A and B are shown apart, each in its own frame.
Chain A
Amino acid sequence: MAPVGPRSGDAIFSSIDRVNAELFTLTYGAIVRQLLTDLEDVDEVNKQLDQMGYNIGIRLIDEFLAKSGVSRCVDFKETAEMIAKVGFKMFLGVTASVSSWDADGTCCSIILEDNPLVDFVELPDTCQGLYYCNVLSGVIRGALEMVSMKTEVTWTRDALRGDDAYELQVKLLKQVAEEYPYKDDE
């Protein structure tokens, strides 16, 4: 089956509204800073960022499907490619690459070379356990859940912790069949 929809997000990226990168980066930084002050615990902050990302993701998927014009993906491999090539380009302005597939095609890595969220950021000693970009993993998890895929998204590499790139591991747990929320005769 031939792939449908755009193979890259460039066209969509150039047509949608954008915001100054520095404003965006500093706004996100302010959120993380505030969470650190409020929650005082790095693990709690990670959790909160993930939850915020999830809340963004479940809304963003609709925007994504409406604007990008992609249609149903045939398998998880195509889904991952779509997120990396179209999704990231559309909303972050960068392209990611997909690699490290496991044998049964349910687990892969999305690698970000460039990440606009982390400009200027340097982790101080007090925040060593922080996944600064944890909102991204939440976004992917939330978005995929809305299209009936339960996933688990974890960071495997983080340049802020001294690695050479940002790598998200996306693991497909199960496909949830769509159900009616109510019975016909009720």
Chain B
Amino acid sequence: MANTACFIIVGRNDIPIYEAEVGSAAKREDAAQLHQFILHAALDVVQDLAWTTSAMFLKSVDRFNDLVVSVYVTAGHTRLMLLHDSRNEDGIKSFFQEVHELYIKILLNPLYLPGSRISSSHFDTKVRALARKYL
């Protein structure tokens, strides 16, 4: 499992709808803000890159010191973004694909409003389990 990893889902209107710190390293107080900052900065790069390829998985799009940002863009332009310090591209790809499946299930729930925050605890536990498995 990676030392540092931060996973967020950004809706099509650029609002974060899910966030999780999934790294195993001891939490530093300012880490969460720093991670958000890096991911936020990467959104612009994603916007440019998303239309240059037909692949959903954009691999690593940005880096900050030893932290890398990998992004997966769904067909509805929801962005799954992962900030990590590991180099396991295959694992990250599988992680994104499985989270995408989970996200679709959430989206199919008629009581979930698309673009609103994902508050399901079931989703949260599943994502964390996937992070342990693949990252």
Contact = CB atoms under 8 A, between A and B. Distances in A.
B109 A121 contact: yes
Interface centre among A26, A28, A30, A33 (most CB of B within 10 A): A33
Contacts of B28: none
Interface residues of A, number: 15
Contacts of B119: 124-125
Contacts of A125: 119
B108 A122 contact: no
Interface in A122-181: 122-125, 127
Contacts of B108: 26, 119-120
B54 interface: no
Contacts of A36: 111
B105 interface: yes
Q: Is the interface of A mostly helix, strand, loop or mixed?
A: helix
Interface string B104-135: 01101111100000011010000000000000
Interface in B55-104: none
Q: Is the interface of B mostly helix, strand, loop or mixed?
A: loop
A29 to B, nearest CB: 3
Interface residues of B, number: 10
Interface in B31-53: none
B116 to A, nearest CB: 9
B110 A124 contact: no
A96 interface: no
B112 A32 contact: no
Nearest to A124: B111
Nearest to B116: A124
A124 B109 CA distance: 10
Contacts of A26: 108, 110
Contacts of B112: 122, 124
A124 B120 CA distance: 7
A66 B108 CA distance: 36
B18 to A, nearest CB: 14
A33 B111 CA distance: 6
A29 B106 CA distance: 13
Nearest to B121: A122
A84 to B, nearest CB: 26
Interface of A: 26, 28-30, 32-33, 36, 119-125, 127
25 contacts: A26-B108, A26-B110, A28-B110, A29-B109, A29-B110, A30-B110, A33-B110, A33-B111, A119-B108, A120-B105, A120-B108, A120-B109, A120-B110, A121-B109, A121-B110, A122-B106, A122-B109, A122-B120, A122-B122, A123-B111, A124-B111, A124-B119, A124-B120, A125-B119, A127-B111
Lowest 3 A-B CB distances belong to which pairs? A29-B110, A120-B108, A33-B110
